Structure 1
Amino acid sequence: MRSKEGEKKRAYLTLEELRQLPDDTNTYKTVGKVFILEPKSVLFNEQEQKLNDSESAIASMQTSKEYLEKQLGEVENNIRELLQQDPGLARQILSMTVQ
């Protein structure tokens, strides 16, 4: 999520800078170590697409995170209930050593 937040922020800042430029300004796109002359509209559309993709990926990840946190809570509750129902099992687990 942090990676996508960073992408989103870079795309937003780039869009803000592109908005300030006149439409006939020469703009360059980096491809590796090469700079390629591109119309402003092409760069603008690419940055908007990156921004939208990042936002949708973040929303999807947030939904997954919430689901997994809910699942984790349910599993923890199930384990607690199991240990409360069988104190002998709880003692046996506590007596085990991790090697």
Structure 2
Amino acid sequence: MADEANKSAFLEIQSRMIETTAKLKQVQNQMRSKEGEKKRAYLTLEELRQLSDDTNTYKSIGRTFVLEPKSVLMDEQEEKLKDSEATISALEKSKEYLEKQIAEVENNLRELLQQDPGLARQIMSMSV
């Protein structure tokens, strides 16, 4: 009876670990994407700063380029930069939370295996 309870607890912990790890990978991918977006906005902003104020600047909209004042493009890039930084900050907090959850799940698994060494042997004997 206790053996079945330990097996079901193990399966629950295993599913939590898989789910949390997947979420962590997703957050890391989102962070990488936002870092790239932030870098593009920063580099574009730096290039725009080098231009004189009377230079014709164009904004890409799909396949079309539209004439826009330099100030409008700079404002848009600054906004993208700020948005990216805010999103990265929020994702960093999510990442820390998920890493704590993974550590907690690992501790739960470790405790379960210490309580029932027979379960550990069964897990090790399973084919992957």
TM-score by length of 1: 0.91
Match of 2:21 in 1: none
The offset of 1:95, in angstroms, is 2.5
Bigger RCO of structures 1 and 2 (CA < 8 A, at least 6 apart): 2
Distance 1:20 1:92 in 2: 66
Distance 2:123 2:50 in 1: 65
Unpaired runs of 5+ residues, structure 2, are 1-30
1:80 aligns with 2:80: no
Distance 2:126 2:48 in 1: 62
Match of 1:90 in 2: 120
Match of 2:52 in 1: 22
The offset of 1:24, in angstroms, is 2.0
Residues paired across the two proteins, number: 98
> Secondary structure of the residue that 2:38 maps to in structure 1?
helix
Match of 1:4 in 2: 34
1:40 aligns with 2:70: yes
Distance 2:120 2:51 in 1: 68
> Secondary structure of the residue that 2:45 maps to in structure 1?
helix
- After TM superposition, where is structure 1 displaced by more than 6 Å over at least 4 residues in a row? none
Give the share of equivalent positions with the same residue, in percent.
78
Unpaired runs of 5+ residues, structure 1, are none
Distance 2:96 2:46 in 1: 32
The offset of 1:37, in angstroms, is 0.2
> Secondary structure of the residue that 2:60 maps to in structure 1?
strand
The offset of 1:93, in angstroms, is 2.0
